[in-house]
Amino acid sequence: MPSPFGLLAELTYACPLHCPYCSNPLDMADYQDELDTAEWQRVLAEARELGVLQLHLSGGEPLQRRDVVDIVRSAHELGMYTNLITSALGLSAHRAEQLRAAGLDHVQISVQSHEATTSDRIAGTTSFRRKIAAAHLVKELGWPLTLNVVLHRLNIDGIADVLAMAEHLNADRVELANTQYYGWARRNREALLPSRAQLERAEVVVRAARERLAGRMEIIYVLPDYYGQRPKPCMGGWGQRQLTVAPNGDALPCPAAQELPLPRANVRDRPLAWIWAESPVFQAFRGTDWMGEPCRSCARRDIDFGGCRCQAFLLTGDAARTDPVCSLSPDHGLVADAVRSANADQPVETALIPRPHPSRLDRS
């Protein structure tokens, strides 16, 4: 049994942004009864005993929690490397100083585009200038800075300007992650899936920037699954190295697994060690014994583990099917049809469905 290396703590699904590609679940009202401070501190202690070394604090917007400083301090005292994944709205100078004193190690700021008008339109609220100010603050306080830009049809053509912005901000790392179609992104796929020509132009820009900025800024570029011939491994393998704890305490092998029809395992009911080692949700697709064909006979079964279980379920209704992005999948036509539509001479224009701003039961 491997030990988990990283824990994604989704502290709350409340968020000031309304991004149409958000991976949060559609039924966010089911997650209002959030773990309180003491419960999160217990979860962190149990995670550290399991072997977790990296803690990623996310949401929603983790800065919506008044106790985020206390949670960071507890993780630091346990010896965890802590990373705040944030929209940066709420990262005031005072809050940043508190987090620095508590031991926060790294800050990752999401930015929707390279300029205010497009960024604010995608985010659904005026936010770009505050994000840029927060990025400067992060560097002033000596933190490593990662900029995360989720790419899609509406912003990918500005990728050169995005990289110029990251360079101007002296970012240590920039993640250019094409949208993965779960949660709200799945509902907005027709409006967000880029064309092949857009992706080809973006790859040329990224390749040149990597060569020019080698040793100065790390550039991560993630292609959309729909344009691959073989699927990516799901979180390095289901229940192999990572786990997620949702705001209500549900423990999951990946952030999108809320949508799967699997038994829930909650940290309020069971110790994290039992959940990791024995719970049905973590055992369901661990290893390769669960696989059917063509995965069972495939030489890549120990490399990509059949691809993404959540994507398989969302596209086929069966989480045990081969990920349809794989060209060997009998369901690959579902992905091919979506790609064909995105590359039509006149692609379908659809209105974006914004992620709502859920209320929350504040127990922090």
Give the Cα separation of 262 and 313 in Å (integer).
11
Tell me which DSSP letter residue 33 carries.
B
Pairing of strands 242-245, 145-151: unpaired
Query: Which alpha helices (H) appear in the chain, and where do they start and end?
Result: 37-50, 68-77, 93-102, 116-123, 128-140, 159-168, 183-187, 189-192, 196-212, 272-278, 280-283, 301-304, 309-316, 332-342
Phi then psi dihedrals of residue 65, to 5 deg: -85, 125
In angstroms and rounded to an integer, the radius of gyration of the C-alpha atoms of the chain is: 20
Let me know: does 321 contact 271? Beta carbons within 8 Å.
Answer: no
| Residue whose tokens read 């990918």 | 156
Instruction: Supply the DSSP symbol for 10.
Output: E
Q: Say how far apart CA 160 and CA 8 lie, in whole Å.
A: 30
With contact defined as beta carbons under 8 Å apart, do 107 and 69 qualify? no
Q: Which of 241, 203, 242 is nearest to 224 (CA)?
A: 203
**Which amino acid type is present at position 325?**
V
How far, CA to CA in Å, does 340 sit from each of 190, 253, 337?
A: 11, 32, 5
Residues 6+ apart with CB under 8 A from 283: 239
* Cα(108)–Cα(54) distance, integer angstroms: 14
In terms of C-beta density within 10 A (0-12 exposed, 13-18 middle, 19 or more buried), how is residue 168 classed?
exposed
| 234 is known to lie in a ligand binding site | no
Which residues are CB-contacts of 280 (< 8 A; sequence separation ≥ 6)? 262, 263, 265
Pairing mode, strands 54-58 and 145-151: unpaired
Annotated binding-site ranges for [4Fe-4S] cluster: 15, 19, 22
Annotated binding-site ranges: 15, 19, 22
